[in-house]
Amino acid sequence: MRNINFKKGLCLFGEIKSTMAFLCILLIFLISTSCDRNEKTSIKNESIKESSIAELINLAYNSKNKSDFIKTCELLSDSLSSSKELICSYVLISNYPDENDASWVFINDPPCPQLSNDRYVFEIIVEGEDSIFIEGKRKSISSINNSLDQFIAKQNNEHNCFITTNVDYFGEVKIRKMGIRLTMKSIGCKRLSIEKWRTFFSVMHTVFSIYESKRDKISFEKWGSDFNSLNHMQKVAVLKMTGLNFQIWFN
């Protein structure tokens, strides 16, 4: 009977040793993974800190993660609070031949370029959380679409509101000579709140969704396909046809 108990004790001791060995291996693996993840996060954070304002705008605009969005907006606030003059970023069509896609990208262009005539500028000013001015009047974000339609309709009565240009696949076309300027008061202000940044990017998403609808409509009318089904050069042509002139001002 004692012999049997002794064997059981040996078996139990062996199981404990195996369990402890497994736990040690697991602990080493977790520490190694954590260090690797922290190192990657640190590298990522350092690279973000070195980004330009245009790059930070792009990161925040496309961010799907709440904490990443907040972190990027805080970096934007830091960059803007240290500036004492107008900062401008604007949207340019990315159409490099070696790229597989075509899209809108944000770029820096100091000093800020002036649009040819303020009559052709649709201005949106972000004042605070959920507070914006459209063409000098306080309005809601949901009213941007209708306000832009009214602005375009008013422009149609002017003879000089179009420019004539050549676009691949479309030939000689007339494109509306107008721009959208999104302005946020930031220079000399205290640190901008995350809520104000949410309003700012909500306006941007609303404006871009209008142009994306226009982009898709042009694609269907020309090729019977949605924009994402087009090849690179077709996408570039469609983006040019939208006539997007979108400027961001921080002043």
User: What are the pLDDT digits (tens) for 188-226?
Assistant: 666 788 999 999 999 999 988 888 888 899 999 999 999
In single-letter form, the type of residue at position 70 comes to: I
CA distance 53 to 132: 22
Mean pLDDT of 165-179: 88
Rounded to 5 degrees, what are φ and ψ at 8? -65, -40
CA distance 19 to 94: 57
CA distance 249 to 159: 28
User: Which pLDDT does position 54 carry in this prediction?
Assistant: 80
β partners of residue 108:
89
Mean pLDDT of 37-65: 68
Mean pLDDT of 74-94: 72
Mean pLDDT of 76-90: 74
Average pLDDT, the chain: 75
Long-range contacts, stretch 140-144, CB < 8 angstroms, 24+ apart: 141/199, 141/202, 141/203, 141/206, 144/203, 144/206, 144/207, 144/210
Task: Return the higher-pLDDT residue of 35 and 99.
Answer: 99
Distances (CA, A) of 78 to 18, 88, 129, 151, 190: 53, 16, 19, 35, 10
In single-letter form, the type of residue at position 227 comes to: F
Which of 33-42, 114-123, 237-246 has the weakest average pLDDT? 33-42
Distances (CA, A) of 113 to 52, 119, 133, 231, 246: 18, 16, 22, 31, 11
User: What are the pLDDT digits (tens) for 1-19?
Assistant: 444 444 444 444 455 556 6
97 prior amide bond cis, ω within 30: no
Distances (CA, A) of 8 to 12, 14, 18, 19, 20: 6, 10, 15, 16, 18
Looking at the chain, list the stretches that DSSP marks H as alpha helix, in order from N- to C-terminal side.
2-49, 53-62, 66-81, 144-155, 194-223, 232-242
Rounded to 5 degrees, what are φ and ψ at 90? -140, 170
Say if residue 96's pLDDT is above 60: no
Say if residue 101's pLDDT is above 80: no
User: Which pLDDT does position 43 carry in this prediction?
Assistant: 32
Say if residue 92's pLDDT is above 80: no
Say if residue 116's pLDDT is above 60: no
CA distance 73 to 87: 16
